[in-house]
Structure 1
Amino acid sequence: MSASTIDALLTVGTTGAALWIALLVDHAFGEPSARWHPVVWIGNYLGAIGRRIAPIGSSTARVAPFIGGMLAWCVGVAVFGGVAFIVQRALWALPFWATAIGLGLLLKPLLAWRMLRDEVLAVEDALGVSLDVGRAQLARLVSRDVRALSASEVRESAIESLSENLNDSVVAPIFWFVLLGLPGAAVYRFANTADAMWGYIGLRNGRDWTWAGKWAARADDVLSWVPARLTALLLFLAFWRPGLRRLPSEARRTPSPNSGWPMAAMALLLDVRLGKPGVYTLNAAGQSPSAQDVAHAAAGCTRAVVVLAIGVLPSALVLAWLNRV
Structure 2
Amino acid sequence: MSLFLLALAMILDAVAGEPRWLWSRAPHPAIIMGKAVGALDKALNAGSGRRIKGVLAVLLLVICAGLTGWVISLFGPVAEIIAAAILLAQKSLVDHVRAVSDGLRQSDEAGRAAVAMIVSRDVSQSTPSDTARAAIESLSENFSDGVIAPAFWFLIGGLPGIMIYKAVNTADSMIGYLTPRHAAFGWAAARLDDLLNWVPARLSAGLIAAMGDVMGTWAAVVVDAKGHRSPNAGWPEAAMARALNIALAGPRSYHGTVQPLAWVNGSARRDLTPADIDAAVAMVWKAWGLVLGLVLVTGGISWVF
Q: Indicate the percent of aligned positions where both proteins have the same amino acid.
A: 34
**C-alpha RMSD of the superposition:** 2.1
Show the counterpart of 1:265.
239
Q: 1:216 aligns with which of 166, 169, 189?
A: 189
8 A Cα contact 2:176 2:182, kept in partner: yes
TM norm structure 1: 0.84
The amino acid that maps onto 2:194 is D
Map Cα deviations across residues 120-142 of structure 1 (whole Å, 9 max, x no partner): 11111111222122111111101
After superposing on structure 2, the runs of 4+ consecutive aligned residues of structure 1 that deviate more than 6 Å are 317-321
Change (3 A) 1:23 1:163: same
Aligned residues: 291
Map Cα deviations across residues 65-110 of structure 1 (whole Å, 9 max, x no partner): 212211111111101111212322452xxxxxxx2x2221110111
What 5-or-longer segments of structure 2 have no aligned partner? 252-259
The amino acid that maps onto 1:46 is V
Map Cα deviations across residues 153-184 of structure 1 (whole Å, 9 max, x no partner): 11111000000000000000001111111111
Change (3 A) 1:71 1:315: farther
8 A Cα contact 1:66 1:214, kept in partner: yes
Larger radius of gyration: 1
Q: 2:98 aligns with which of 118, 121, 135?
A: 121
Report the alpha carbon displacement of residue 320 of structure 1 after superposing the two structures with TM.
Answer: 9.5
Report the alpha carbon displacement of residue 54 of structure 1 after superposing the two structures with TM.
Answer: 3.6
8 A Cα contact 1:178 1:312, kept in partner: no
Show the counterpart of 1:48.
39
The amino acid that maps onto 1:226 is V
Q: 2:17 aligns with which of 30, 53, 77?
A: 30
Report the alpha carbon displacement of residue 17 of structure 1 after superposing the two structures with TM.
Answer: 2.8
SS of the residue aligned with 2:49?
helix
SS of the residue aligned with 1:243?
helix
SS of the residue aligned with 2:263?
strand
SS of the residue aligned with 1:279?
coil
8 A Cα contact 2:105 2:274, kept in partner: no
Show the counterpart of 1:294.
277
TM norm structure 2: 0.89
1:82 aligns with 2:73: no
Aligned mates of 1:178, 1:82 — CA distance in 2: 17
8 A Cα contact 1:131 1:151, kept in partner: yes
8 A Cα contact 2:101 2:275, kept in partner: no
Aligned mates of 2:302, 2:69 — CA distance in 1: 21
Report the alpha carbon displacement of residue 28 of structure 1 after superposing the two structures with TM.
Answer: 2.5
Change (3 A) 1:68 1:239: same
Report the alpha carbon displacement of residue 313 of structure 1 after superposing the two structures with TM.
Answer: 4.1
The amino acid that maps onto 1:138 is V
Report the alpha carbon displacement of residue 276 of structure 1 after superposing the two structures with TM.
Answer: 3.9
- Of 310-319 and 102-111, deviating more is 310-319
